[in-house]
Amino acid sequence: MADMHLKIDDTLYPVIINRKYNKNTYIRVKDDLKIYVYTNYLMTKQDVKQLLTNNSLSIKRMLIKQNMRQQRQQDFYYLGTRYDVVIIPKLKDITITDNKILINDNAKINKWYQKQALIIFNERLEHLLLSFPSNFTKPKLRIRKMTTRWGVCNRKDKNITLNLELIKRDIKLIDYVIIHELCHFIHPNHSVAFWDLVSQYQPDYKILRKKLKDLS
């Protein structure tokens, strides 16, 4: 249940207030297009109203970004290209032709993404490892859907996890995430040495990093 509502461009958006023993107060817009305020017990509803009013432009930008993100998720993308989905009930296998994907059931798309991701991500990992030192141990590859990260490196278990959503992105973006995670086996933090190493394998990493951030 909403604690209050905020009106932006003639639309009322529910506001949910989460109180904890926080020092700081911050605002988030989630997939449900509700505005979440995380704050402490000392902040009154009037304080929250004023905070929302003062940050209305930032909140509007967050709502626009979330709407765009949802639209992208509804569209069908594969390796950076958008395809129109055509349902053909009697079709046996999913087929990509020109600018269309032919499929017999929308529910099968996620399974197809999983299958393709396993193939493509492994191919790219093998290819990129050729540039790393010969004594570099190949990590195990895991794939799962993540909401806040494109990739994760687990140095202890010697594996990297890639976000399934990456299969929708251009190969260069996939390569950047893999390189990023591989470099973490050498430098576990985001130090200057880490970014210097990333730049050796992906000189334009700053451009690719920004593209991924815009897609988040």
Question: How many residues are present in the chain?
Answer: 216
| Angle ∠(207,211,216) on CA atoms, nearest 5 | 145
Return the domain boundaries, the chain.
Answer: 4-74, 76-107, 110-215
Instruction: Give the tens place of pLDDT for each residue, 103-119.
Output: 887 778 888 899 999 99
Classify residue 74 by its DSSP letter: H
Q: Is 0.85 topped by the overall pTM?
A: no
Instruction: Give the tens place of pLDDT for each residue, 152-203.
Output: 999 989 999 999 999 999 999 999 999 999 999 999 999 999 999 999 999 9
Burial code of 27-61, b = ≥16 C-beta within 10 A, e = fewer? bebeeeeebebebeeebeeeebeebbeebeeebee
pLDDT of 73 over the 80 cut: no
Q: What is the CATH number of domain 110-215?
A: 3.30.2010.10
Q: Which residues pair with 163 in a beta bridge?
A: 144
